[in-house]
Structure 1
């Protein structure tokens, strides 16, 4: 199964200068709970933005056009197609970014695990592709209001391919 996981603002913004738009501890907990023990695929810039490199207890796959690149704890492939070929049929794969990897993976994905933030980030330079309601059906929505650790309301929303 291929799932895409992302946090998006009202305009589908996902990042600015290779950083997340919002610091939402519950979103990070959900990300960890879903991806731990599974395979994560990301672009080079996303990998380089991780503060401690490869995420523990996951198979880390990095996509890069630089064939000579090496990252401790990660496998590097030149294309999403190659990376997916290296995965077993029963492997649960999470696509974790960035924008161009999301765009490539969307036609192949079975599920979207989105955190929809009810706010507009002031600066955005990376966007999530449009979610076409003719292709994707919302299956669950878990709303969370503002609290002392979360500066804006958000919802965990899962979509499945129709």
Structure 2
């Protein structure tokens, strides 16, 4: 299964200079909980923005046009097809985890979307691509807990792709 997972502000901002423009520990916990023992796919700039190291307890795939790119503990791919083939043969969930261009390439193939919406506007230089929301059904919505470490109100949303009648046959 292929799923996208991301956090965004009210205007769709997802990053600034290849990093998150906010500090929201509960969303990071959610990301960890969802992706552990699964696979995450990200672009090279996103990977390097995280310190060029794979996250523990999950397989990291880095997608790049740089043919000679390598880093310890990751799988490097260069095409969407390589990721789709991997996901088809992987028994867990393959999560698309950024950045903007990578989300745009994989959105047509995703079965589930995990979106955290932060009720605030941040300065940023990357936004989540347009989503045809009429193709998706909201299946879960939960309010995030605001506290001294999580200063913004936010919610976790899970969407499942609607099945077209043509796809059912």
TM-score range, shorter-chain basis? over 0.9
TM-superposed CA distance for 1:111, in Å, is 0.5
Counterpart-to-counterpart distance in 2, 1:56 and 1:89:
18
Counterpart-to-counterpart distance in 1, 2:131 and 2:112:
11
2:166 corresponding residue in structure 1 = none
TM-superposed CA distance for 1:147, in Å, is 1.7
Would you say 1:143 and 2:143 are equivalent positions? yes
Which sections of structure 1, spanning at least 5 residues, go unmatched?
Answer: none
Counterpart-to-counterpart distance in 2, 1:5 and 1:76:
20
The TM-score normalised by the length of structure 2 is 0.91
Counterpart-to-counterpart distance in 2, 1:81 and 1:98:
18
Deviant stretches of 4+, over 6 Å: none
2:70 corresponding residue in structure 1 = 70
Secondary structure of the 2:134 match is: coil
TM-superposed CA distance for 1:53, in Å, is 0.6
Q: Contact 2:14–2:124 (CA<8 Å) still a contact in 1? A: yes
Q: Contact 2:52–2:71 (CA<8 Å) still a contact in 1? A: no
1:42 corresponding residue in structure 2 = 42
Counterpart-to-counterpart distance in 2, 1:86 and 1:149:
37
TM-superposed CA distance for 1:93, in Å, is 0.3
Q: Contact 1:12–1:130 (CA<8 Å) still a contact in 2? A: no
TM-superposed CA distance for 1:133, in Å, is 2.2
Report the structure, 1 or 2, having the larger helix content: 2
Q: Contact 1:141–1:155 (CA<8 Å) still a contact in 2? A: yes
TM-superposed CA distance for 1:52, in Å, is 6.0
Secondary structure of the 1:157 match is: strand
1:87-137 deviation digits (Å, cap 9, x = unpaired): 41533100000000000111000001011000100x211010123221111
2:100 corresponding residue in structure 1 = 99
The TM-score normalised by the length of structure 1 is 0.94
What is the aligned-residue RMSD (CA, Å)?
1.3
Which sections of structure 2, spanning at least 5 residues, go unmatched?
Answer: 163-169
